[in-house]
Structure 1
Amino acid sequence: MAMGSTMHTFEVDLADVDRSVYEQFTLRVARHPSETESFMMTRILAYCMEYTEGIVFGGGVSTTDEPAVLVRDLTGALSAWIEVGAPDAARVHGGSKSAERAVVYTHRDPEKVLANWRGKIIHRGDAIDLFAVDPALVSESVSALERRNTLTVSRTEGQVYLDLNGVNIAGSIVAHRLE
């Protein structure tokens, strides 16, 4: 018998000083059995760092034509394609062609991700940000993870501060570009 997704709920208090975004919202996140907790936490951080009107999680592993997180404008047009992990160059190329903006958040070694993209055709490749999430930020978040979570996310001057279920975690999210 196949295992089902594990549901996690996050009561989020977001204070993104760098972008002047201050919001409170609830996220209900389904973690597919094939998805690691590190990937899920990176997906949640990507959602928070990109939070704007029209942001939603993609369809997940069963939907190959959507990213992990996406943003649609009021007309329904795709304005941001937000991938997580280490997507291949073809996926990033397709995302960049289908949205005004494409970004990737990774909990992996950013140099290895960029190395897999080098020499490949990627639409507007020089405009795609690869955000490397501090591995300690992800691993410490995973350690504090529960099924029901309270999460405070603060970003200021490029530093990210989390309070996840009473555990304080700090780290950085560093932008890289394909050269």
Structure 2
Amino acid sequence: MASGATIHTFTVQLADVDRGVYDELALRVARHPSETDAFMMTRVLAYCLEFEEGIAFGEGISTTNEPAIVVRDATGRLTSWIEVGAPDAERLHFGSKLADRTLVYTHRDPAKVLAPWAGKRIHNAEAITLHSFDPGFVDSAVAVLERRNTATLSITERQLYLDLNGSTLTSTIHDHRIV
């Protein structure tokens, strides 16, 4: 855990109808002093939306050889490289060579995230998906964020319904391709 990090806990009732995933998650998330609340909230959402056996938060923003979230199979082999925010093309290239699947979740304007990747060498770029939320969705979630959080997260037909600490928020999960 990073020194000076702020610890947030999340108890999440997850119902992902699209993938048939139903679980209760107890997450302990360290927010590094240089990490924004919006980045951390996007990291938590990405973890929940990609939840499966073997998922874990990466070592943190100070580690360059791991993404925000990793998924490993039972043998320890990296199966998913999940970035958050606006990683550079070189990082996506590196991650997509290591994992079967590479994706990005962003709280930023997706057009501004995609623009720097145009024309850059990114391994298997056609298979990488950038996921974003409706404008203002993550900011609204951050506005009700506490150190101890209770959430119900439901996903159906790419529509996300989030009840966070008594506030109800909704967003479509938008998918963008690099190529």
Tell me if TM exceeds 0.5: yes
Given residue 126 of structure 2, which amino acid in structure 1 is its aligned partner?
D
Whole-angstrom CA distance in 2 between matches of 1:29 and 1:20: 25
Structure 2 residues not aligned, in runs of 5+: none
Say which SS state the counterpart of residue 116 (structure 1) adopts: helix
Whole-angstrom CA distance in 1 between matches of 2:135 and 2:42: 10
- Is 1:115 aligned to residue 125 of structure 2? no
Q: Please say if residues 42 and 133 of structure 1, whose CA atoms lie closer than 8 Å, have aligned partners that are also in contact.
A: no
- Is 1:68 aligned to residue 68 of structure 2? yes
> 1:21 aligns to what?
21
Alignment of 1:35-74 (within 5 A): 35-74=35-74
> How many residues are aligned here?
177
Q: For residues 57-77 of structure 1, give each alpha carbon's deviation from its aligned partner in whole angstroms, at most 9, with x where no partner exists.
A: 001112110000010000000
> 1:6 aligns to what?
6
> 1:139 aligns to what?
139
Given residue 116 of structure 1, which amino acid in structure 2 is its aligned partner?
P
Deviation at 1:133, TM superposition (A): 2.0
After TM superposition, the runs of 4+ consecutive aligned structure 1 residues lying more than 4 A away are: none
Q: Please say if residues 71 and 81 of structure 1, whose CA atoms lie closer than 8 Å, have aligned partners that are also in contact.
A: yes
Whole-angstrom CA distance in 2 between matches of 1:133 and 1:7: 24
Whole-angstrom CA distance in 2 between matches of 1:110 and 1:166: 28
Whole-angstrom CA distance in 2 between matches of 1:96 and 1:36: 25
TM-score, L = length of structure 1: 0.97
Q: Please say if residues 59 and 66 of structure 1, whose CA atoms lie closer than 8 Å, have aligned partners that are also in contact.
A: yes
> 1:169 aligns to what?
169
Worse-superposed segment, 77-86 or 134-143 = 134-143
Q: For residues 63-110 of structure 1, give each alpha carbon's deviation from its aligned partner in whole angstroms, at most 9, with x where no partner exists.
A: 110000010000000000000000000000000000000000011111
Whole-angstrom CA distance in 2 between matches of 1:54 and 1:134: 29
Say which SS state the counterpart of residue 94 (structure 1) adopts: helix
Alignment of 1:124-163 (within 5 A): 124-163=124-163
Q: For residues 135-172 of structure 1, give each alpha carbon's deviation from its aligned partner in whole angstroms, at most 9, with x where no partner exists.
A: 32201110110000101100001110001011101111
Structure 1 residues not aligned, in runs of 5+: none
Whole-angstrom CA distance in 2 between matches of 1:110 and 1:167: 25
